Structure 1
Amino acid sequence: MHGIILITGSTIQRAFLLALTDCPPDKIITDEMAKDDLMPIYYEPSELQACLNETNLIKYFSFFSQYAFTEQQLQVMKQKMDEIFPQGFPEPMLRNLGGFINEMTPEDVKKWNITSVETLTALLNMPPPDALVSAIWKSCATLDRGMEGIGKIAYLFSSFLFRTVDPPLDPSHCPQTTKDILYPKAKRAFSDRHNEFPFYFLKIEPYLGGAPQQDLTALSKNNVNMDINTFLGLRNDAVMVIEDVKNLLGKNLKDLKNFQGVEPIKGWIYKQKQSALDELGLGLQGGLPEGYIVLPQEPARRKRAALAFN
């Protein structure tokens, strides 16, 4: 029987599988192999490229993400993930990224559909590299906007990010309720260096949209030279007397002129005496003539009660 090759059904099946995947038969990712934490030493990057597929990648991803793959291996596996999930990774996979988090880019994060605080918690606990933090922050827009949801999100970021992100987060586009939650947490996080300027101001500046008037007045005594964009993001009820605004803006005071029609500057000008505004030498218009005062508006409920009484 020399020269005769016996071809069995299993031989044909294995040859067919090899032709489809180019995965060496002895490298096919079995259940036993996938759960072996020494798996990284058994595979060259090219073998992972050939042997990974949608089925085994999803089924065993929680194992793979914990293994000590080399940088080359991780890059190959990330490429395979992108091929399988071009529109973004499923949320269960996001909760188990593990070592793969360092292979992600801000462009990847834009594709993520983060719908739960649990997923956000898992991502922050990995933890992500600084380059991803801002993108993850923006992804919070898809989460629950109720007060409870906002509070959880704020807590997660305040506990993890205030000391680790450089440059810090930009919460300027967040709802005012979120800014009001973030500011006291940021203030507390940096409290041990609150007398160190400009360090303290540079750290706290992104969160000043939630600062009360008394804190801004205190900052104005430290020559912080706040830029006009930060000033525009302050709470409307936190505007200060002219002297405080002058000290707070410092060398940037001249920028008030260009934004005098924008809140909160517009409302602030309306409450100042025109003569005091003139002393700034900026040409600001719209202040109170001499002899006029601004009366606080009466709450609507009190007005209705007064009318009913009459």
Structure 2
Amino acid sequence: MLFFGTVVGALSDEDSISPQVLQGFTSTRVQLFDTVKVQKLIRGSRRRGNVRVILQESQLTCMYNYIKNDVVTVFTDYPPELLLYYDYTLVNQSLCKDFFSALGYADFSVLSSTLSFRKQILLNSAIQCLKISGSAISRAQLDVLGNMTCMLDSTYIQNSDVHILEKLKQCQDFSEDQISAMENVLLTKNTAYGAPANWTLNTLNTLGILPLYFSSGFWAYFTQKDKAQFMKTFLPWLRARPGLSKQRISSMMNEAQKVSKAKIRLSLRNKRDTACTAGEITQVQASDNSLPFGYDVTQFNVCLSVQALKDNLPAISEKATGSDYQRVILDKLNQAYPTGISDEVLQVLGPASRAATVTDISKWSITMVDTLSALMKSSDGNWTSEQVKAIVGKYLGVSGNSLGSSELNAIGGVNLCALDVSTIRTISSSSLQSASSLSVSTCSLAQKEALFSIAQTAFSDKTLSSSRATSTISSNAYQLIQNYLSGASLAYVQTLAGSSINMDLLTFTSLNPSVVNVSVLLPDLLEVLFSEFCIQMFM
């Protein structure tokens, strides 16, 4: 990001700038350029086929400031996410379909909680533009709505053209009512997938991500063979999707494994309680991408030996991610290592670690930063505050260990916010300066203030350039300390107001309310720090 101005300044053709460079667009950086240059950069950030520039809300609201007075007529000239902030009243109603067709490609998740209300405003405007009456939406109208289809409630889903299922495949998540409605459409309507009685493995393969959400009522129409074959490719695909809940994947497998024929349940019930009937779990099963499909928790427990788990721990832990399965894994590891689990084992424990109790953690050997890094891997799942304190406490309890830059990168901002203020205060300014930028939005005010105090030293202009202190704050220093401003003091924010720094909406709203004293700061903040767009539309 800090090299954005140098790279962009040397190029005259915005289309020749890579998406990676354009992602460094910030209000402070583009102050270096004239308005025409900035508007070209904004157009250069538009969607080009399947290539998108990933932009955050602070960047998009800054971009909006440069086009807010323009009457835009070619909406595809801009990033679709930028249209989330555009003033719809400026759109000529003869072009409203073009506007929503372009907006339909936007990632609506970029809207912060502060501005999430715009989703419903835009959806209502789209419904009015498309003259949608009642709850039935045609295929042509759905094509215009695009990703806005994800915001439609269950009534729309059940009453609209069945093509809605294709649009919903692009959504990131659903409410329970939406899921029930989608399943009902599949089971009762004349869809492209045919009658449930005729469903096959090919049906599952063509439904995209939707099977992840469906109940056992959907899965009952498929044979065990088809489901097992499907899981071999579907599960790896799901596991590779960033941000997808491992618990959601586990819930899907539980629904898919439910046996609908009572006589089969009865014939196996007694055996399952006492013996392995699903097949011993060996290296072959551990390497099967569909594991643990075919094993309920009871069978997983009786079919997995302690030795097989020790020999195949990384593969099994990565696949068996339901909390009940994870508990089985930990219980067997406690049997295998009664005196405690070593660094080497913890480094490959993976998602199963999340089922550990504080008592379990107290027996772990966490002496190396590599172990800390492996345990804190965010893709393996979330930790509770108590678990984080126990893990970091074990690590810091080893002589010579501290919260250096490597440790901070391993722990990350969210987990850092689980630590006591006294522990946070042990972080040195040089460690924070060398660490990656940390998100501290979930920290308490006391934690934020402690971190800001450290960051103020780490990222002061004097520290960064070894020059004498100044009465203003440079754009470089601001960029580096920005993530920690929610703990900023009144004096520091006042200095910002006199430093020609443009502050975005999210940073402004993250400031300590007691620091943003209206009588003292309002004139400066409104004029210098905070964009006119934010004041007029969102404050």
User: Normalised by the shorter chain, which TM-score bucket?
Assistant: 0.3 to 0.5
**With structure 1 as the length reference, what TM-score do the two structures score?**
0.48
Larger Cα Rg: Structure 1 or Structure 2? 1
TM-score by length of 2: 0.30
